[in-house]
Structure 1
């Protein structure tokens, strides 16, 4: 009987793991980025999987490497897909030498210190064209090598006044197109220091997203205008893909729960 309970417990853990994780499909290629230069990276913009709260943990990466290359050689992760809803977790276990993370045109609403903590070699970070509202205290405490940061075209309302203090190599800081600032600094530590001094007054930090609620109507109008300029296919994908994914995950979990119930019944009978 004890063996039966152990089996049930293991199956339960497996179901939890399956329902909260995903795999990514990489196109491995080279591209030259500011500061970091020619970079061998994993491009997941064409990956059909959605990275959401339900599938935030990345188990593995598939794709065909260039000759004489492996996961160890991957220095960057790149996406320009609306399918990324939360910051993916577990990438550091697959690609141990990441220096670049670029997630453009996603649906990120927040990023936390815990998300960036594993990437101590990070030099280039771009989360442009997302929906992030706050750059929180201590966000880059474990990323002292950062030389390029972009939060362009987000919804930034608050920036902690000391968040960039430990970044002695920071030469590119792109904050244009946000609610509280529209500035950028390129290739100059002095420019970076100047705009940091400026946003301390304009992007006062409270740590609360309550103020962000007042901009909902304004941003909804902007988004609608953008959709009108997009193709019908993109509009359908943008508005319905997350819902389809949610239904798919729920269906999968429902099947797994039924399967578990059948197994439990069989074990108890045994």
Structure 2
């Protein structure tokens, strides 16, 4: 399944730091802590397989703060150059747009930074050219409106079609292969059905694999995603749980259809 990418709501701050960058960084940390943000553990090692060495170094220097669904981060190494400012990114996860709470928190943090003597700089043409615009939550919401009813219907149709294609291309051939595997076991029909159901549910359940950091996603057999499951977001774990359960139910029906009692067993029951 390939779906349209969804941009995580994000806004920015551009803080003047031409004179004393270290003091500015310290005040930023204090402002975040005063509003209940907590410093997150740096997960830079998870990026090593997919990023170039210099980008990994930047990730290692990142500082990320979180408060519920909200996250603020900046790169210490990236800010160490002679740019004269510090750029912060403000995110609200699990939303299509900034909520009222997110907008309020954005300006609360902006005021807290100002109260600590930090100066907010305006966006410049150089920021736009470098794809580093200074965006407010209201501007993000305006640039990324919620989908219309027709767009939602089209997206649901795309999802349904994607799962149908996945079933035809992956699940049905997988069932036929697993039926042959279950036939290897010298057990009764119900036992082979149980083996079939468990293998099908654990191997064939669909899981979304992001094709890039912010989408789109592609449906793959869930067994391929199991090595990464513990480092994935909670919402992904919930989807995996539902996917396994739904595949388990479908596989129960398929087991009754694909695995029939052998003629020898039927003859044996008749003779008794």
User: For this structure pair, what is the TM-score category when the shorter chain's length is used for normalisation?
Assistant: under 0.3
TM-score of the superposition, structure 2-length normalised?
A: 0.25
Compute the TM-score of the two structures, normalised by the length of structure 1: 0.25
Higher helix share: 2
